[in-house]
Amino acid sequence: MSSNKPLISSSLEPAWRSAGLRYYAYNFALRQRFSHRVQKVSIDAGFTCPNVDGTVAKGGCTFCDNRSFSPSRRLPRAGILGQIDQSIARLRLRYKNCNHFLAYFQPASNTYAPVDVLRPLFETALAHPQVVGLAIGTRSDCVPDNVLDLLEELAERTYLSVEFGMQTIHNRSLEWMNRGHYHDSFLDAVQRSRGRGFEICAHAILGLPGENHADMLATARELARVDIDAVKLHNLYCVKNTKLAEQVAAGEVTLMGRNDYVRTLVDFLERVPPTMVVERISGDAPPDYFLGPSWCLDKQGVKTAIEGEFERRDSWQGKRYTLR
């Protein structure tokens, strides 16, 4: 099943509130659209990143363990269909009755190639009988117009979400993380993506060093102003083999505590529109790879705390959103 209907409900009273939710959770949005559970299956299509291979910079973002996709270390992976089958088999252990999946092109920058390389990768995933759509993670400086034309064409026949790693609107923070682009790059990508039939999702990180509470809420207000379709939020967390790991070990960076994160996240969601799908509210990594903070490995605990904070305030996503 596929279509190009947007996930966003046009109802004045959001359906997610009628369903007793405090924010527009992604699994709820997917159920609205597909009428059944849909899970993402991650695909590593062998991309690298211009922030790693030297095109923009070397070394990548300070929090990213990019050794695994640096050009010299790229290992052959199972084919696209093989990866989908393997991921579905794993997910079936948990979601026995789930039969519909989004192929999620996840590691590195998944539009960082010419169109004639990208097209067969995306078409192959779509040809899997249980794949009902695509999610593609990328950087805002990796979407030239001919790539956007391809994504628009795909979105005419399937659900497609394009995820841009925005991270923050503050250029000093983007410099700190060695992002290799500034906020104007994100705005440019959104402006050129708009109206092409796919969902525009932004990743944002809370708890970046040098950002105070007001700075983080400024990012929320900017996302509301730009009016993207979806957001993925998580705290800054630390994995092995990264520059961030060295900075944390040296005491140069302090990672956000859980209570601070929960309060800030709720403040953030109160300021974005109720139509913005919230694809993620916390982050984690495989335990053998993860360094901290340890609280974010308890995803259910974080989710419960966020819902509890909304309830304590008798609040919800968009409560403090104002049209400007």
Task: Please give the residue ranges that form the binding site for ligand SF4 (CB under 6 A).
Answer: 49, 51-52, 60-61, 64, 66, 108-109, 139, 165
Beta bridge partners of 52: none
In the complex, minimum distance from the CB of residue 174 to ligand SF4, in angstroms, rounded to a whole number: 10
In the complex, minimum distance from the CB of residue 320 to ligand SF4, in angstroms, rounded to a whole number: 30
Q: Residue 126, SS3?
A: helix
How far is 295 from 302, CA to CA, in rounded Å?
8
Report which residue's Cβ sits closest to ligand SF4.
Answer: 60
User: Tokens for 68?
Assistant: 């695994």
Beta bridge partners of 53: 58
In the complex, minimum distance from the CB of residue 278 to ligand SF4, in angstroms, rounded to a whole number: 21
Q: Which is nearer to ligand SF4, 51 or 317 (CB)?
A: 51
In the complex, minimum distance from the CB of residue 108 to ligand SF4, in angstroms, rounded to a whole number: 5
Of the candidates 165, 178, 172, which has an alpha carbon nearest to the alpha carbon of residue 228?
Answer: 165
CB 150 within 8 A of CB 158: no
Q: Which is nearer to ligand SF4, 111 or 317 (CB)?
A: 111
How far is 232 from 120, CA to CA, in rounded Å?
27
Neighbours of 105 (CB within 10 A): 25
In the complex, minimum distance from the CB of residue 139 to ligand SF4, in angstroms, rounded to a whole number: 5
Q: Which is nearer to ligand SF4, 64 or 136 (CB)?
A: 64
Q: Which is nearer to ligand SF4, 122 or 186 (CB)?
A: 186
Element spanning 299, H or E: helix 299-313
In the complex, minimum distance from the CB of residue 252 to ligand SF4, in angstroms, rounded to a whole number: 19
DSSP letter (8 states) at residue 74: P
In the complex, minimum distance from the CB of residue 64 to ligand SF4, in angstroms, rounded to a whole number: 3
Q: Which is nearer to ligand SF4, 103 or 142 (CB)?
A: 142
Q: Which is nearer to ligand SF4, 65 or 85 (CB)?
A: 65
Show the CA angle centred on residue 296, arms to residues 294 and 299, nearest 5°: 130
Q: Which is nearer to ligand SF4, 39 or 109 (CB)?
A: 109
Residues 6+ apart with CB under 8 A from 103: 40, 41, 43, 80, 84, 125, 126, 128, 131, 133, 134, 135
Q: Which is nearer to ligand SF4, 66 or 111 (CB)?
A: 66
In the complex, minimum distance from the CB of residue 120 to ligand SF4, in angstroms, rounded to a whole number: 22
Strands 277-280 and 199-206: unpaired
DSSP letter (8 states) at residue 294: G
How far is 214 from 217, CA to CA, in rounded Å?
5
How far is 203 from 165, CA to CA, in rounded Å?
5
CB 197 within 8 A of CB 154: no
